[in-house]
Amino acid sequence: MNPMNNYWLKPVCPEVSEINTRFGAAQFATRKMITVAFLAALSVIFQSMGGLLPGIGYLISPLATAPIVLSTILSVGSGLTAYLLTMLLLFFIQPSELIVFPFTTGLLGLGIGGSLIYLKIRLPVVITGSLSLWAGILLLLYVFRFPVLGPAVSSTFSLSTITIVYVFSLFYSWLWVEISRYFIKKISKGIT
């Protein structure tokens, strides 16, 4: 068998099912609620860095994806709660980030987290994450006419822009799947 096929077609992170099952138990309800609130606050801090610390903050703000992924692997409901709570907190703390988070880092986190629970195989997880990020960027760019990619990219419909955005989304999703896998393995060792 081709080693690349083995890489793309094997389970990406078996620990996700264990974490999801463990935190789904009734005795973990309070712990899950506290964890989701903490992760949402962490997501807000990361997402706000772009506006609070121009320059270096733009390197920190993509980290807002990680807490959403981690919340979502606890349960999809927890992920949605963290996503909505992050948006609510951003409304008060950094309203300028409120249009970017729901359609980019937050949506990517939900896509990857949900697909880690249900799809489990690396290729479908990466594709699901990339489609959610791609759709969010295209919504911002073409529906809301928000220059999410900067002033150099026109908000008029362009097939080349759509293709480049998808290639970027695919790579970025793969990168976040691998980062998520690393953190999930570390967290799994800590809770067992």
The two structure tokens encoding residue 170: 């695919």
Mean pLDDT of the chain: 91
Q: What distances in angstroms separate CA 20 from CA 16, 53, 135, 185, 188, one per listed residue?
A: 6, 35, 27, 13, 11
Q: Residue 20: its pLDDT value, please?
A: 84
Dump pLDDT digits (tens) for 58-113: 899 999 999 999 999 999 999 999 999 999 999 999 998 999 999 999 999 999 99
**Three-state DSSP state, 122:** helix
What gap in Å lies between CA 132 and CA 104, rounded to an integer?
Answer: 8
Q: pLDDT band for position 3 (50/70/90)?
A: low
Average pLDDT over residues 163-180: 96
Question: Scanning the structure block, which residue is given the tokens 């099912």?
Answer: 17
What gap in Å lies between CA 52 and CA 124, rounded to an integer?
Answer: 35
What domains sit in the chain, N to C, each tagged with a CATH number?
14-191 (1.10.1760)
Q: pLDDT band for position 181 (50/70/90)?
A: very high
pLDDT over 80 at 25, yes or no: no
- The DSSP 8-state label assigned to residue 11 in this structure reads B
Q: Residue 147: its pLDDT value, please?
A: 83
Instruction: Give kind and range of the element (H or E) at residue 9.
Output: none
Say how many C-beta atoms besides its own lie within 10 A of residue 140's C-beta. 20
Question: Scanning the structure block, which residue is given the tokens 């970025």?
Answer: 172
The two structure tokens encoding residue 10: 């094997």
Q: Residue 4: its pLDDT value, please?
A: 66
The two structure tokens encoding residue 131: 């489609």
Q: pLDDT band for position 17 (50/70/90)?
A: confident
pLDDT over 80 at 169, yes or no: yes
Q: Residue 164: its pLDDT value, please?
A: 92
The two structure tokens encoding residue 85: 């709570």
**pTM of the model as a whole:** 0.92
